[in-house]
Amino acid sequence: MIQDIWPHRYNNQYRNSAPDAECYALYYEEHTALLRRTSEGIEFPRFRDLERLNEEIYEDSIYLFSIDDSRYYLVREISREPHSGFTMENTEIFREAKPQYRSFAGITGYQLWNWYRSHKFCGRCGHMMQRDEKERMLFCPECRNMEFPKICPAVIIGVTDGNRILMSKYAGRAYKKYALLAGFTEIGETVEETVAREVMEEVGLKVKNIRYYKSQPWSFSDTLLMGFYCDLDGEDKITLDREELALAEWFEREEIPDQMSGESLTNEMIQHFKHGEV
Ligand SMILES: [Zn+2]
């Protein structure tokens, strides 16, 4: 999965350290990131690649995380060298681009960039927020409001019935492959209750024996995904929520299509069932 970057090591502990020329500079605009494609895959600029046209770049940067001994920083409002090979690419590239640890760095940085740019002002009193020096936190000097990075819990649901699993396709989304049911946890709800509620809302089925499988950080949508399998309880007749889903069907293990990309928890759960490990 996208976060499985071994033998590389991701360290997200906040450090109040200044960047040097060899550090990586992550730069984003809307749904795009600055990167270069090489024969080995994608590559991010280092500060030395950007410093000539951007005198302020070292001061105007935010420490994000490190991978192995390399530090990654967020940089803002830069001018780009026209012939450097670095271009803005859609962040969807991080679903599959190699090497995987760079895709993971790219999408994790993107989530943090989104958080910083969405919290310039205090949501309580409207004052400008300031960055804390000791931890990854923004605070309001006026009313003392504190903001930490936002992560939304959500569930991925493998509904099974003996040798069958329920697969679906989303309505109105770019992602067209088969998926499992999924949904965000509401306030005041346990994740197990989310599983039962989402299955009822999306396909009108009751489930039982809800059991946890694995989790996955999914920075494309500010989410922590938690995967669950559960068993159909009673009637198997699907009543589709057409606002959410284009289709939902039962698949026998042997009928499940091979989907080779291994970045998502959804995919791993489908293949795990296909190979009889559930
Ligand atoms: Zn405030």
> Distance, CA 121 to ligand 1 centroid (Å)?
8
> Distance, CA 56 to ligand 1 centroid (Å)?
28
> Distance, CA 147 to ligand 1 centroid (Å)?
10
**Secondary structure letter of residue 85 according to DSSP:** S
pLDDT band at 80 (very low <50, low <70, confident <90, very high): confident
DSSP 156-216: EEEEEETTEEEEEEESS-S--S-B-EEEEPPTT--HHHHHHHHHHHHH---EEEEEEEEEE
State the pLDDT at residue 169. 87
pLDDT of 175 above 70: no
> Distance, CA 113 to ligand 1 centroid (Å)?
21
3-class SS of residue 242: coil
How confident is the model over 107-128, as a mean pLDDT?
Answer: 97
> What contacts 157, CB < 8 A, 6 or more positions away?
180, 181, 182, 183, 195, 198, 199, 207, 227, 228, 229, 230
> Distance, CA 75 to ligand 1 centroid (Å)?
25
State the pLDDT at residue 77. 85
State the pLDDT at residue 258. 79
> Distance, CA 189 to ligand 1 centroid (Å)?
29
C-alpha span between 269 and 274 (Å, rounded): 9
Residue from 64, 71, 59 nearest 114 by CA: 64
> Distance, CA 256 to ligand 1 centroid (Å)?
52
> Distance, CA 278 to ligand 1 centroid (Å)?
49
**Secondary structure letter of residue 256 according to DSSP:** P
How confident is the model over 124-148, as a mean pLDDT?
Answer: 96
pLDDT in tens, 257-271: 877 667 899 999 999
How confident is the model over 212-236, as a mean pLDDT?
Answer: 96
> Helical H runs in 54-171?
100-118
Measure Cα distances from 198 to 10, 14, 45, 49, 169 in Å: 33, 36, 42, 47, 15
pLDDT band at 50 (very low <50, low <70, confident <90, very high): very high
3-class SS of residue 66: strand
Spell out the domains of the chain, with CATH numbers in brackets.
10-118 (no CATH), 152-274 (3.90.79.10)
pLDDT of 178 above 90: no
> Distance, CA 72 to ligand 1 centroid (Å)?
29
> Distance, CA 129 to ligand 1 centroid (Å)?
8
- Global pTM? 0.90
Chain-centroid distance of CA 230 in Å reads 24
